[in-house]
């Protein structure tokens, strides 16, 4: 039976080819001058939104804890990366721009991760609404702290002014590099979600007491997920800082975080591919609606309401798109059905399904690509 279907390794290969093909298309349209800075900017925004949404989905969808502080971490990452970049320039460190971009973005991620651990340890003792309120408060604290930091305003560092927007950040973000950062992020998140740790996290989501009874260290797991989520939010922030070139403390506010929570819920909680699709969709939608000018936010809101009425579980629910599954379905239609059936051992169906779908690690990128392609088609 196994022979006639794609093996795990083969499916990895298929996905890798898919991602590379997607990158080829991206490069093709960029190099040939088919797309202008506007489209490139939207693609960049999409990549940032994908990183934010998928990493947030790890906390909200996989761990099942509602947090509203993701933009606090994004802001920490953004400011750390921006100030690090300025520090390198101020000290006259000559560096390849791409290397500097990668280094500063990584610094942003690490600093955000440290804060994630610090916030996570006390905050994750709480559940549900209480955690949401704590994280909401955290975002506000970050905003106020940044606002009062002299080094984080104006031109930054010693020329800084408290409360001003941080300006003059070198705009080093490069679409190709950001594309690969996005791919790596999604792959890592998928691998985490389907690993031993990921299964433990899902067990916590489904029944905390049972998970605890089976020997899972709940606090450790929660903080781990929170820290990973914060790390990637910091990475997204680092990219954002070096794409936009100026930062405002308001970016840490809860309204921004709500935006990403919407994307996660919209795409389907627990589905990383769903997050990717909704991140791209909800980034492009307001741009497509520009033609409606003043009605555009109305149309956007109506679209959100309609989706929530007719598909309350989100576009993808907790189903993952998988290129391998599609190929199997096309070439081995009967086998798939046989293969799929006996696996349900009566365990918790929900988490079981989610674990299995984790197989499609790299397929996610493929979906990311699909949507990017659509985007380009619109151009």
Partner 1 sequence: MNAKFSAKCVALIAAGAMSMSLAACSGGSMDDSSSSNGSAANSDTITLGSVTTNSGTAAAYGEAEVAGFKLAVDEINAKGGINGKKVKLESMDDKGDATEASNAFNKLAGDNSVLGVVGPTISSTTAAVAPLADQSKLPAIAPAATSDSIETGGYMFRTCFKDSYQGEIAAKFAAETLKVKKVAVLYGTGDPYSSGVGKAFAAAAKKAGLDVVAEENSSSADDTEYSSQLQKIQAAGAEFLYAPYYYSVAGPYIIPQARSVGYKGYVMGPDGYDGLKMTDDKSLYNKVLYTTHYSPDDTSNAKVQDFIKSYKKANKNADPNTFTALGYDSVYMMKQAIEKAGKNATRESVRNAIAGMSFEGVTGNFTLDKKGSPKKSVIVLELKDGKPQYKTTIQPSK
Query: Does the footprint of partner 1 cover residue 110 (CB under 8 A)?
Result: no
- Contact between 38 and partner 1 by CB under 8 A: the answer reads yes
Residues 189 and 274 sit within 8 Å (Cβ to Cβ) = no
Q: Should residue 344 be labelled a site residue for partner 1 when binding is judged by CB under 8 A?
A: no
Q: Which of 34, 90, 210, 297 binds partner 1 (CB under 8 A)?
A: 297
Position 171 contacts partner 1 (CB under 8 A): yes
Distance (Å, whole) CA 314 – CA 375:
21
CA 193 – CA 275 distance, rounded (Å): 14
Using CB under 8 A as the binding rule, whether residue 91 contacts partner 1 is answered as no
Per CB under 8 A, 45 contacts partner 1: yes
Binding test (CB under 8 A) with partner 1, winner from 36, 215, 346, 377: 36
Q: Yes or no: say if 114 and 73 are a contact pair by the CB < 8 Å rule.
A: no
For the bound state, the minimum distance from the C-beta of residue 352 to partner 1, rounded and expressed in Å, comes to 25
2 makes contact with partner 1 (CB under 8 A): no
**What is the nearest approach in angstroms of partner 1 to the Cβ of residue 260?**
13
Nearest distance, CB of residue 138 and partner 1, angstroms: 17
Which residue stretch of 59-67, 175-183, 191-199, 343-351 sits at the interface with partner 1 (rule: CB under 8 A)?
175-183
| Overall size of the chain counted in residues | 379
**DSSP characters over 224-272:** HHHHHHHHHHHHHHHHHHHHHS-B-GGGGSHHHHHHHHHHHHHH-TT-H
CA terminus-to-terminus distance, the chain: 44
- 171/335 with CB nearer partner 1: 171
Q: Given candidates 5, 121, 174, 336, which one binds partner 1 under the rule CB under 8 A?
A: 174
The residue with tokens 């190099």 is 31
286 near partner 1, rule: CB under 8 A: yes
Instruction: Kindly report the backbone phi and psi dihedral angles of residue 166, in degrees, each rounded to the nearest multiple of 5, phi listed first.
Output: -80, 120
In this structure, are residues 82 and 169 in contact, taking their beta carbons and an 8 Å threshold? yes
Under the binding rule (CB under 8 A), the answer on residue 19 touching partner 1 is yes
Q: Which stretch binds partner 1 (CB under 8 A): 9-17, 109-117, 310-318, 321-329?
A: 9-17
Residue bearing tokens 């349209």: 29
CB of 10 to partner 1, least distance (A): 6
**Token couple for 19:** 């991602």
Q: Which residues contact 256 (CB under 8 A, 6 or more apart)?
A: 71, 74, 250
DSSP per residue, 32-61: TT-S-HHHHHHHHHHHHHHHHHHHHHIIII
Cβ 8 to partner 1 shortest distance, Å = 8
Q: Which of 92, 122, 213, 293 binds partner 1 (CB under 8 A)?
A: 293
Question: Using CB under 8 A as the criterion, which residues of the chain lie in contact with partner 1 when the complex forms?
Answer: 7, 9-10, 12-13, 16-17, 19-20, 23, 27, 30-31, 33, 36-38, 40-42, 44-45, 97-98, 144, 147-148, 153-155, 161-165, 167-168, 171, 173-180, 240, 243-246, 248, 250-251, 286-287, 290, 293-294, 296-297
């Amino acid at each position: 039976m196994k022979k006639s279907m794609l093996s795990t390794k083969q499916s990895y290969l298929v996905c890798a080819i898919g991602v590379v093909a997607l990158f080829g298309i991206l490069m093709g349209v960029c190099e040939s001058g088919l797309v202008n800075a506007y489209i490139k900017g939207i693609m960049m925004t999409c990549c940032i939104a994908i990183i934010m949404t998928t990493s947030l989905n790890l906390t909200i969808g996989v761990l099942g804890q509602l947090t509203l502080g993701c933009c606090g971490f994004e802001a920490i990452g953004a400011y750390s990366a921006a100030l690090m970049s300025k520090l390198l320039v101020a000290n006259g460190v000559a560096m390849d721009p791409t290397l500097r971009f990668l280094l500063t973005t990584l610094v942003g991620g690490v600093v955000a991760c440290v804060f994630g651990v610090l916030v996570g340890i006390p905050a994750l003792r709480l559940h549900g609404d209480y955690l949401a309120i704590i994280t909401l408060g955290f975002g506000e604290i970050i905003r106020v702290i940044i606002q009062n930091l002299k080094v984080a305003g104006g031109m930054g560092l010693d020329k800084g002014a408290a409360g001003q927007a941080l300006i003059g950040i070198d705009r080093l973000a490069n679409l190709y590099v950001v594309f690969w950062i996005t791919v790596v992020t999604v792959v890592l998140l998928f691998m985490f979600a389907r690993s031993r740790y990921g299964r433990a996290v899902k067990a916590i989501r489904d029944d905390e007491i049972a998970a605890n009874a089976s020997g899972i260290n709940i606090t450790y797991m929660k903080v781990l997920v929170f820290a990973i989520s914060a790390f990637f939010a910091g990475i997204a922030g680092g990219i954002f800082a070096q794409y936009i070139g100026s930062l405002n403390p308001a970016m840490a506010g809860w309204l921004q975080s709500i935006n990403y929570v919407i994307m996660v819920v919209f795409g389907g909680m627990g589905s990383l591919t769903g997050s990717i699709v909704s991140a791209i969709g909800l980034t492009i939608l307001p741009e497509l609606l520009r033609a409606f000018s003043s009605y555009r936010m109305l149309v956007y809101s109506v679209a959100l309401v309609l989706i929530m009425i007719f598909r309350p579980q989100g576009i993808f629910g907790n189903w993952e798109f998988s290129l391998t599954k599609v190929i199997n379905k096309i070439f081995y239609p009967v086998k798939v059905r046989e293969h799929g059936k006996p696996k349900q051992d009566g365990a918790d169906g929900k988490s079981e399904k989610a674990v299995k779908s984790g197989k499609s690690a790299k397929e996610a990128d493929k979906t990311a690509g699909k949507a990017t392609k659509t985007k380009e088609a619109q151009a």
